[in-house]
Chain A
Amino acid sequence: MIEVRFHGRGGQGVVIASEVLAKAAFKMGFEVSSFPFFGVERRGAPVTAYARIDKNPIRIKSSIYEPDYIVVLDSTLLKGVDLLEGLKPGGKVLINYPDDKTLPEISDRFQYYTLDATAIAATHGIGSKMTPIVNTAIMGGFAKMSDWVSIEAMLEIIREVAPVKKDENVEAAREAYERTREVAV
């Protein structure tokens, strides 16, 4: 079973990102489950969501403590709580991070991927200029980082799920897929 944890802030589409991953994996024939840790948070507050992907039906309903992947939609969260807590050794981390900056000092036990999802979402006019909605771009990046979910499945689900600006969201995810790169730390 593959387990994924998402970190972001209310309004960025963290919960939808976890659903998009689940639906894309389901499209590829996997069994899936995705869920938010839903508090009573408002826009801007840290939000966590989770996804499980497996070949067999998923019965477990408890939370995820030792994920294989971590996705960070908002790099300002890197300064706060330990975002990498519980990540399995060799686990992969995808961070929405500006292209022109280098990652701060971070544990070398994991593999890191970055992409400037904020810039990509802004270019494609997704969300407002001040608060672009980065979830579709970041999921394009996820397809690049993982070797088991295809960009085609991801784009198909994004088109299905995006309530408005379907083409823009799909294009943002496609561009993000191209621009996601592994970074050495």
Chain B
Amino acid sequence: MTKSYEEIPLTPISNTPSTMNMTGLWRAFRPIVDISKCKRCTICWKFCPDAAIKLVDFVPVIDLKYCKGCGICSAECPAKCIEMIKEGIE
């Protein structure tokens, strides 16, 4: 609802950090990693625009709370070990 100009601060302020924004809810496609094919090159981790990939022993672990499913990791993986599948289908 629109607030009166008298009730708002000088400039719009957000009091919550962006990590409170669960961007994983936006996802239509989910990355699935085939660890057996992973060369541990970490290119997926470097390219993830949302920093939603953690590395465990140089192998990617996707943080699905924040992964928007953009597919960049899948497109960049030289070993073709990340597959994008439609959300809701296991």
| Direct A–B contact in the complex, CB atoms closer than 8 angstroms | no
